[in-house]
């Protein structure tokens, strides 16, 4: 959900930047933002899920795909610190998915919409020859002053994550190994989103930069570093995970929140967060002065030489 994903048209992206911006801020965050006056902004995200790439019909139920399609988009809105209010849904369906598959998909989409109080504000349906494609737009509304951007990290900030990492990637591995019944596998198929948490963190000024973890922190952390012009040091023994450290930092689709927090407010924030959500904000590192060398990975204080990359889009 960023112009930067158009790697194959980088020269054109620069040309688009010369067009009028229509009031929209297009600087590589989870969402586009538009100031609507009165101190408020809309934030908008769009994501496309394709059969055979993002899900397999034999591995994920239609209900699960319906849940996940909504959740991954609401996660982008929450990652800006906003509360999602509505979505738009486009679906292209081959003839063998028009009836039962579509009904079950919509049941999942509806259940998660109801759970998070989001309207279905519009959409499009069409046929396709072979594969199912789902496109969701999620829209949130929030105070402009509270928008959390990837560009807001400051040297000295603590780096925190909202939950265990690598679970979704471990679940995908389970599925590919033939066991779709594990807890991780179920998490991978249904998706995850820290929606209440994101809106709550949006109101805390000590939270500086924020984004959701869709490609693994080895990749996503770099977005914050690039946009904020800072470096990052991550203590691998502090990264919360149920799986191995490499999967935890390079696995995609966790949809936990990654944020940087003013150091002297961090402990109070973590206490308040735990009191509110009965769930931990884990400190995994520090924002440091920018370096040439990417993320500094530390093992109990000692620098380790690894070449970890998150999931990368072509």
- Nearest CB to its own copies, comparing residues 15 and 302: 15
Among 57, 61, 137, 246, binds its own copies (CB under 8 A): 137
Q: Give the range of 57-65, 103-111, 197-205, 250-258 binding its own copies by CB under 8 A.
A: 103-111
State the binding string over 234-273 for its own copies (x if CB under 8 A, else -): ----------------------------------------
Three-class SS of 232-258: EEEEHHHCCCCCCHHHHHHCCCCCCEE
Place of tokens 């999602």: 84
Per CB under 8 A, which of residues 71..100 are in contact with its own copies?
Answer: 85-86, 88, 90-92, 98-99
Distance in Å, CB of 16 to its own copies, minimum = 5
Interface pattern 22-61 for its own copies (x via CB under 8 A) = xxx-x----xx-x-xxx-x-x-xxxxxxxxxxx-------
Q: Are 93 and 102 in contact (CB under 8 A)?
A: yes
Which listed range, 19-27, 146-154, 177-185, 288-296, lies at the site for its own copies (CB under 8 A)?
19-27
| Cβ at position 276, least distance to its own copies in Å | 22
Burial grade of 206 (CB within 10 A; 0-12, 13-18, 19 or more): middle
Looking only at the bridges linking them, the beta strands covering 231-235 and 296-299 are parallel
Instruction: State the nearest-atom distance from the C-beta of 210 to its own copies, in Å.
Output: 17
Question: What gap in Å lies between CA 171 and CA 179, rounded to an integer?
Answer: 9
Of 187-206, binders to its own copies (CB under 8 A) are none
- Give me Rg for the CA atoms of the chain: 19
Q: Give the total of residues touching its own copies (CB under 8 A).
A: 73
Touching its own copies, residues 104-133 (CB under 8 A): 106-107, 110, 113-114, 117-131, 133
Residues 140-179 that bind its own copies (CB under 8 A): 141
296-305 burial code (b ≥16 CB/10 A, e <16)? bbbeeeeeee
Contact 118, 74 (CB under 8 A): yes
Structure-token pair, residue 262? 């003013």
């Amino acid at each position: 959900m960023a112009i930067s994903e158009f790697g194959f048209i980088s020269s054109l992206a620069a040309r688009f930047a010369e067009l009028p911006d229509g009031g929209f801020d297009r600087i590589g965050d989870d969402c586009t933002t538009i100031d609507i006056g009165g101190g408020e902004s809309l934030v908008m995200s769009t994501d496309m899920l394709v059969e055979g790439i993002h899900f397999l019909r034999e591995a994920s139920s239609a209900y699960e795909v319906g849940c996940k399609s909504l959740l991954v988009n609401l996660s982008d809105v929450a990652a800006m610190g906003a509360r999602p209010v509505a979505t738009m849904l486009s679906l292209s369906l081959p003839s063998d998915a028009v009836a039962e598959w579509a009904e079950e998909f919509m049941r999942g989409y509806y259940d998660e919409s109801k759970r998070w109080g989001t309207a279905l504000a519009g959409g499009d349906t069409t046929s396709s020859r072979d594969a199912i494609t789902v496109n969701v737009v999620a829209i949130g509304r929030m105070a402009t002053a509270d928008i959390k951007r990837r560009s807001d990290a400051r040297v000295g900030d603590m780096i925190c994550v909202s939950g265990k990492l690598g679970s979704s990637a471990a679940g995908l591995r389970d599925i590919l190994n033939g066991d779709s019944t594990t807890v991780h596998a179920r998490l991978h198929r249904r998706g995850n989103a820290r929606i209440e948490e994101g809106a709550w963190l949006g109101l805390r000024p000590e939270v500086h930069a924020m984004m959701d973890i869709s490609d693994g922190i080895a990749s996503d952390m770099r977005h914050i570093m690039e946009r904020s012009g800072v470096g990052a040091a991550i203590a691998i023994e502090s990264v919360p995970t149920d799986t191995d450290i490499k999967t935890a930092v390079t696995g995609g689709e966790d949809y936990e929140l990654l944020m940087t927090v003013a150091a002297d407010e961090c402990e109070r924030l973590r206490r308040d967060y735990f009191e509110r959500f009965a769930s931990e904000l884990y400190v995994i590192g520090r924002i440091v002065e920018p370096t040439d060398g990417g993320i500094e990975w530390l093992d109990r204080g000692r620098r380790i030489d690894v070449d970890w990359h998150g999931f990368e889009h072509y």
